[in-house]
Structure 1
Amino acid sequence: VRGDRRIPLTAREFALLQFFMEQPDRVLSRTSILEKVWDANYDGLSNVIDVYVKTLRQKLEAEGEPRMIETIRGRGYILRSPDRVETR
């Protein structure tokens, strides 16, 4: 739920969001995300994490609102705490 809006998530989307929420304001590498959320070894070529992060952003972030999940180039992704969110 975000505000008054219920947001439907798949089991995998929920697991990914939960992993982010357990470690706010920490950069999570693609390798660590894949190992914890997918229980798989990262081959370096898959874009499955990028696709799921994009889908989560579309579901969670309304246009014009600050970005909650940021890409840290060359390192991974980070879920910002509400007081540390930057506007787009």
Structure 2
Amino acid sequence: MENITIMEALGLSAVAIIVVMIVLVGLMLIVSGFKYIGGSEQVAVASTPQPAASPAPAVLEEDEETKTVAALTALIMANDNQQDKKYRITSIKRIK
């Protein structure tokens, strides 16, 4: 078995760390380049069919948690999978 000095071990460790960093940066560049490949195509989102006839809807309590959940659900639907949009909730009204 060969004896390795501390300086050789440190040099080998530095080279291994540099190789790992180069591979990670390369992977980062590849992943970030995916947004430029085929970015002009838009995927059509199929809307879910609504049930034809549903029984009488259950009445929910109108508390703050229910209003917050309804507002967040409406924001998710309005966002339409575009993360750059910004919205501000000014009021919450129940529509019957």
Query: TM (normalized to structure 1)?
Result: 0.29
**Structure with more relative contact order (C-alpha pairs < 8 Å, separation 6 or more):** 1
- Taking structure 2 as the reference length, the TM-score comes to 0.27
**Highest CA radius of gyration, 1 or 2?**
2
User: Which structure: greater strand fraction?
Assistant: 1
